[in-house]
Structure 1
Amino acid sequence: MEKLKLQIYSIQTLCLRKKKYKFSLLIFLCSIIFFSKTSCSTLSFNFYGLSCPSAELMVKNTVRSASSMDPTIPGKLLRLLFHDCFVEGCDASILLEGNGTERSDPANKSLGGFSVIENAKRVLEIFCPFTVSCADIVALAARDAVEFAGGPNVQIPTGRKDGRISLITNVRPNIVDTSFTMDQMINIFTIKGLSLDDLVILSGAHTIGSAHCNAFSDRFRVDTNGNFTLIDPSLDKAYAIELTKQCPAGAATSTITVKNDPQTPQLFDNQYFKDLIQHKGLFQSDSVLFNDVRTKKRVVEFANDQDGFFRSWSQSFVRLSVLGVKSGEDGETDFSRVGSQSFVRLSMLGVKSGEDEEVGGIPWIMVIKRCNFFAKDIGFSEPITRTLAMSLICVVGARWENSSYVLGMCCWWEGTGHFENYILTDLFHIPSYPEIPYIVVLRLLSFQNGKFSYGYSSSPGKRSSMEDFYETRIDGVDGEVVGLFGVFDGHGGARAAEYVKHNLFSNLIRHPKFISDTKSAIADAYNHTDSEFLKSENNQHKDAGSTASTAILVGDRLLVANVGDSRAVICRGGTAIAVSRDHKPDQTDERQRIEDAGGFVMWAGTWRVGGVLAVSRAFGDRLLKQYVVADPEIQEEKVDGSLEFLILASDGLWDVVTNEEAVSMVKPIQDPEDAAKRLMQEAYQRGSADNITIVVVRFLGNQEGSSRGTSA
Structure 2
Amino acid sequence: MKVYTLMCLLLATLATMTQGQTRVGFYSTTCPRVETIVRNAVQTAVRADPTLAAGVLRIFFHDCFVNGCDGSVLLDGPSSEKTAPPNVPLRGFEVIDAAKSQLETACPGVVSCADIAALAARDAVVLAGGTSWQVPLGRRDGLVSQASDTVNLPGFNDPISVQIRKFADKNLNIQDLVTLVGGHTIGTGACVVFSYRLYNFNNTNQPDPDINPAFLPQLRALCPNGGDGSRRVALDTGSVTRFDNSFYANLRNGRGVLESDAKLWSDPTTRPIVQRFLGLSGLLGLTFNVEFGRSMVKMGNIELKTGSQGEIRRVCRATN
1:239 aligns with 2:215: yes
SS at match of 2:28: coil
Shift of 1:267: 0.5
Higher helix proportion (structure 1 or 2): 2
TM-score (norm 1): 0.40
Shift of 1:230: 3.7
Partner of residue 63 from structure 1, selected from 11, 17, 42: 42
1:144 aligns with 2:123: yes
TM-score (norm 2): 0.87
Shift of 1:333: 5.9
CA RMSD in angstroms, aligned pairs only: 2.2
Q: CA distance change for structure 1 residues 114 and 334 in 2, over 3 Å: closer, same or farther? A: closer
Partner of residue 26 from structure 2, selected from 26, 43, 47: 47
CA–CA distance in structure 2, aligned partners of residues 147 and 338 of structure 1: 29
Q: What's the CA shift string for 1:68-87, capped at 9, x where partnerless?
A: 11010110011111110001
In structure 2, give the amino acid aligned to 1:58: I
Alignment of 1:164-563 (within 5 A): 164-172=143-151, 174-221=152-199, 230-253=206-229, 255-304=230-279, 308-332=287-311
Structure 2 unaligned regions, length at least 5: 1-17
Which protein is bigger by CA-based radius of gyration?
1
SS at match of 1:108: coil
Q: What's the CA shift string for 1:349-377, capped at 9, x where partnerless?
A: xxxxxxxxxxxxxxxxxxxxxxxxxxxxx
Q: What's the CA shift string for 1:44-95, capped at 9, x where partnerless?
A: 1111100111101110111111111101011001111111000111000001
Report how many residues are paired: 294
Structure 2 counterpart of 1:586: none
Structure of greater relative contact order (alpha carbons < 8 Å, 6+ residues apart): 2
* Matched-pair contact (CA < 8 Å) for 2:186–2:242: yes
SS at match of 2:176: helix
Q: CA distance change for structure 1 residues 267 and 309 in 2, over 3 Å: closer, same or farther? A: same
Q: Percent identity?
A: 38
Shift of 1:238: 2.2
CA–CA distance in structure 1, aligned partners of residues 300 and 266 of structure 2: 28
In structure 2, give the amino acid aligned to 1:234: D
Q: What's the CA shift string for 1:577-620, capped at 9, x where partnerless?
A: xxxxxxxxxxxxxxxxxxxxxxxxxxxxxxxxxxxxxxxxxxxx
* Matched-pair contact (CA < 8 Å) for 2:110–2:312: no
* Matched-pair contact (CA < 8 Å) for 2:112–2:312: no
In structure 1, give the amino acid aligned to 2:105: I
CA–CA distance in structure 2, aligned partners of residues 262 and 206 of structure 1: 10
* Matched-pair contact (CA < 8 Å) for 1:164–1:334: no
1:156 aligns with 2:132: no
CA–CA distance in structure 1, aligned partners of residues 86 and 178 of structure 2: 22
Q: What's the CA shift string for 1:393-427, capped at 9, x where partnerless?
A: xxxxxxxxxxxxxxxxxxxxxxxxxxxxxxxxxxx
Shift of 1:107: 1.3
Q: CA distance change for structure 1 residues 230 and 280 in 2, over 3 Å: closer, same or farther? A: farther
Q: CA distance change for structure 1 residues 48 and 218 in 2, over 3 Å: closer, same or farther? A: same
* Matched-pair contact (CA < 8 Å) for 2:195–2:225: no
CA–CA distance in structure 1, aligned partners of residues 266 and 165 of structure 2: 18
Structure 2 counterpart of 1:709: none
Q: CA distance change for structure 1 residues 338 and 319 in 2, over 3 Å: closer, same or farther? A: closer
Q: CA distance change for structure 1 residues 208 and 334 in 2, over 3 Å: closer, same or farther? A: closer
Q: CA distance change for structure 1 residues 338 and 70 in 2, over 3 Å: closer, same or farther? A: closer
Shift of 1:203: 1.0
Structure 1 unaligned regions, length at least 5: 1-38, 223-228, 342-712
In structure 2, give the amino acid aligned to 1:215: V
SS at match of 1:211: strand
Higher strand proportion (structure 1 or 2): 1
SS at match of 1:258: strand
Shift of 1:303: 2.1
In structure 2, give the amino acid aligned to 1:104: T
Q: CA distance change for structure 1 residues 114 and 194 in 2, over 3 Å: closer, same or farther? A: same
